[in-house]
Amino acid sequence: MLKSQQNIKIGVITIHNGTVVELERTLNSIDEQSNKPDLNLVIIKKVNNFDFKSYKKKYRKFIIGKDKSLWNAMNIGIQNTEKFNIIFLNSGDKFFSIKSIKHIRNQLKKNYNCSLVFKTILKYRNTLFYPKKKYFEKDNYSPHPSFVRNSSNELKIEFFDEKNKINADGIWMKKLRKKKFKKINKIISVYYLGGQSSNPSLVSILQLLKFDINGGIKEFLKFLLYQLLPKEMYYKFLYSLKFETKFEK
């Protein structure tokens, strides 16, 4: 077995700028894993009434009040995990099962020089959105809760464009996809809809127009629908072509 296959170090980066409930959901999901990460780096802008002692683990490190923005926080995460294979599981999101990290580790052993793209489920209340096969096979499918950056797959470490306030994660993953990467047909994470990053706004419209006129127009249409429709109906309409809709029992 190659040396690169023997020592698979996995780092889970968690960015928090929301509620305590969201942070607890994510950290509980990590702590429940049958195969623990080598590092869980939690970067917090500000938090109140959070019981740090309950979530103290030998693999967990907190960085509090150091970041200037979301993308700056992600860059801080990357800077502190250069030797790790990393996945972003931000506050509010969770792993799909207690074996998610085990699946990641096993696939990294098989594809030791590739970054990996797994599947992510979107969730709003009791509605689940499962990516259709055709959508998963498209090159642009790589939501960050299912994208694993392989530490051996880079000549230099890629960082987020902190000036890009909307889709810097998309650009980051696009750069990494130009190197070796492989798609794994397995659900690894759950992304919770309803947060600031998943909802269109006047700010997101203006930012997208700077980078992509067509993207800005689409964001404007999404914004109109978001104002007119109930949230659950909005998400069902938005993802109907790319996702299968299921309901939690």
Domain annotation covers residue 224:
no
Is 15 a residue whose pLDDT tops 50? Answer: yes
Burial pattern 165-187, b for ≥16 Cβ within 10 A else e, equals bbbbbeebbeebbeeebebbebb
pLDDT at 120: 97
Domain annotation covers residue 206:
no
Domain annotation covers residue 221:
no
Domain residue limits at 125: 3-195+242-247
pLDDT (average), residues 41-49:
92
Count of CA atoms in the C-beta half-sphere (13 A) of 84: 19
Domain annotation covers residue 200:
no
Domain annotation covers residue 115:
yes
What confidence tens digit (pLDDT) does each residue in 173-213 have?
Answer: 998 888 889 999 999 999 999 876 678 888 888 888 887 78
Q: pTM of this prediction?
A: 0.93
7: CATH: 3.90.550.10
Domain annotation covers residue 180:
yes
Distance CA(30)–CA(242), nearest Å, equals: 28
Q: How many domains does the chain have?
A: 1
Is 66 a residue whose pLDDT tops 70? Answer: yes
* Residue 65 DSSP class: S
Distance CA(222)–CA(229), nearest Å, equals: 10
pLDDT at 48: 85
Domain annotation covers residue 207:
no
pLDDT (average), residues 80-99:
96
Angle at 24 between CA 22 and CA 27, to 5 degrees: 110
Domain annotation covers residue 216:
no
